[in-house]
Amino acid sequence: AQSVAQPEDQVNVAEGNPLTVKCTYSVSGNPYLFWYVQYPNRGLQFLLKYITGDNLVKGSYGFEAEFNKSQTSFHLKKPSALVSDSALYFCAVRGQTGANNLFFGTGTRLTVIP
């Protein structure tokens, strides 16, 4: 079965510093991986996806993610954090049926400290 794990419930980072939100995956077959962000009282918003190709994927709001097959990881990164980046971040993997049914990790709450 497809699954992702987010080992950190909470990540704190100072404004202007680089940030990393971790995700590892377990899949059968080729992984289709996603990052979504959730702001308070809102639905999830798509940030970026990895399907194939370059291991460094660029997404919305200056975020990027690095796919590492040997470590089965798909960490979300940003070179310089903003206070407005504070939110709940979800890693997700596509299900096996070939459709867009995504299975999400438990989420990591990012707090950027001014």
Partner 1 sequence: DAGVIQSPRHEVTEMGQEVTLRCKPISGHDYLFWYRQTMMRGLELLIYFNNNVPIDDSGMPEDRFSAKMPNASFSTLKIQPSEPRDSAVYFCASSFGSTNEKLFFGSGTQLSVL
Assess contact for 65 and 79: CB atoms under 8 A.
Answer: no
Of the residues 2, 23, 89, 94, which one makes contact with partner 1 according to CB under 8 A: 94
C-beta closer to partner 1: residue 3 or 12: 3
Q: What is the DSSP letter of 110?
A: E
Of the residues 76, 78, 90, 108, which one makes contact with partner 1 according to CB under 8 A: 90
Whose CA is closest to 56, among 45, 68, 44?
68
Whose CA is closest to 95, among 41, 12, 25?
25
Smallest separation (angstroms) from partner 1 to the CB of 38? 8
| Among 17-25, 61-69, 71-79, 101-109, the segment contacting partner 1 (CB under 8 A) | 101-109
